[in-house]
Structure formats: structure tokens, C-alpha cells
Amino acid sequence: MNFNNKTALVTGAANGIGKAIAHQLGQLGAQLILVDRSEAVFQVAEQLKNDNVRVEAVICDLSNEDHIDHLWEDVKARYEKVDVLVNSAGIIKRQPISETSTFDFEKTMSINVMSVFQMSKHAVALMTKHGGGKIINFGSLLSFLGGFHAVAYSSSKGAIAQLTKSFSNEYAKHNIQVNAVAPGYIETDMNTDLKADAKRSVEVSERIPAERWGTPEDVAKVVCFLASDLSDYVTGTIIPVDGGVLAR
């Protein structure tokens, strides 16, 4: 895999899986645009610069469409092309349906789905002009299962599976491959509360055939495959990266 002469934009790059993707794509030669609402994204960029990666960090609140529009105006003015878009940013609020407000539901949909739609729409407009590209979205086990105490999150990740297929259908002929990964239980800040819950943590671990939680790097490797030309005839798929949980 080689990303020399490729530019990749990664959202949610300040933390967790997005950060691991930035490191792996950077090591493989990509020029990077790292996007997050957290200023920690600047530290990630500094680390990568020390490893001679060409990288820029941008603060952007992906729940705000104006921020997204400005981001892409800037990107188009300063970069010749964007070859890869990784939509990794996402949120979860675990709570029963009875305690889930319309505000919570809309906020989750706004970041987990609407921003992916808006970011991807900008990306395909640019990629179409430059001969193609790759978009990698983030589903979840809850793209396939309903889950418990995560109605907004599972609704958003179900939508991501369909959004991925819709974009894939319309843009395959433009040499743009659109796929999603569906991570299982990955050790990131998103699961700090789950890991800290002694009972739930054991229950989760017992469900994983691989007998370990995933790491951000486990997911990043599959994202790199989907971002590379090794996957040029793969589009419209949702690939579980879950240590075998869905196959149980």
C-alpha cells in the first residue's frame, strides 16, 4: 500500500480510531488534512510532522453545515485534489429510550449522519473532477443490530449503511468507491464507561470470539485497505471489524 501523491481528509482525527488512521495513512505516505472539533487534533498533527508527514489540522464542528462549507472552500482553494475522505467523527449517548430527548436524537443524527452526507457530497463533487476517490464511512455492530440503550446511535449507524450504499450506487461509475467499516468493541474513549462497568465489561468480553477487545489500529488497517487501490473493485460494502462478534 502506498499513498504517495495522495491527499486524505480524516474527520475525528483528534482521538481514538481517527487518530490511528491518521498515523497509518501518514506512515504510508499520504498528505493529511485532519479535522476535529477538539484542539487535541493539533497535537496529533505535531506528532506526525515530527515523522515528516505533510499534515494540516483544522478545527471544525461537523454539526454545523456552515463550518463544513467553509472547510471545503478552504480545502478546494489550497489543495489540488482530495483522494480519500474518512468520516470517522461520531458520538454516542447511552440511555434508555424513555430518557432520550428529541434534542439528543437530533444531535446524534446531525453528527453521525448529516455531517457524513454533507462531507461526502462535497468530496464526490471534487473527486468526480479529478478522476475518482475513496470514501470510508463508520457504521457499527448497530448498523446490523438494534442494541440496547442507544436508540439514536443505532438509528444513525443503520442510516450510515444505507447512505454508504446510495453514494456507492451513484458514484461507482465515476471511479469513486464508497464503503463503511463496522467496528465491534474497540478500546477508545467512546467505550470508557462500558469498560469501567465491571459487569457489562465482562459480558462484552465473553461475546467476542477473538477473546479480546479491538484496538484503533485493528480498524485503521482495514480503513487503509479501503482507502488504497487494493480495493478498487470494492464498493457499497459494510465490513465488520469485530473479532467475530456478528458471526456468533
Ligand X SMILES: NC(=O)c1ccc[n+]([C@@H]2O[C@H](COP(=O)([O-])OP(=O)(O)OC[C@H]3O[C@@H](n4cnc5c(N)ncnc54)[C@H](O)[C@@H]3O)[C@@H](O)[C@H]2O)c1
Q: For the CB of residue 150, give the shortest distance to ligand X in the complex, in Å.
A: 10
Written as one string, the DSSP assignment of 136-176 is: EEE--GGGTS--SSBHHHHHHHHHHHHHHHHHHHHHGGGTE
Cα–Cα distance, 47 to 196 (Å, whole number): 29
Angle between the 151-171 and 115-129 helix axes, to the nearest 10 degrees? 20
Cα–Cα distance, 64 to 70 (Å, whole number): 10
Q: For the CB of residue 30, give the shortest distance to ligand X in the complex, in Å.
A: 19
Q: How many residues bind ligand X (CB under 6 A)?
A: 27
Measured from the CB atom, the residue of 88 and 179 that comes closer to ligand X is 88
- Our finding on whether 26 is near ligand X (CB under 6 A) is no
Q: Which of the stretches 7-15, 96-104, 123-131, 198-206 binds ligand X when contact is defined by CB under 6 A?
A: 7-15
- Residue tagged active-site, from 153, 171, 185, 233: 153
Measured from the CB atom, the residue of 80 and 211 that comes closer to ligand X is 211
Measured from the CB atom, the residue of 191 and 228 that comes closer to ligand X is 191
Nearest CA among 9, 14, 32, 31 for reference residue 90: 14
Which residue has 477473546 as its cell numbers? 211
Helix (H) or strand (E) holding 65: helix 65-78
Options 109, 190, 204, 234; binder of ligand X; rule CB under 6 A = 190
Measured from the CB atom, the residue of 9 and 14 that comes closer to ligand X is 14
In the shown chain, the binding pattern of residues 131 to 170 toward ligand X, with x for contact by CB under 6 A and - for none, equals: -------x-x------------------------------
Residue 173 to residues 82, 229, 233, Cα–Cα distance (Å): 18, 16, 11
Beta bridge partners of 85: 9, 135
- Our finding on whether 188 is near ligand X (CB under 6 A) is yes
Options 6, 12, 25, 82; binder of ligand X; rule CB under 6 A = 12
- Our finding on whether 118 is near ligand X (CB under 6 A) is no
Residues designated as active site: 153
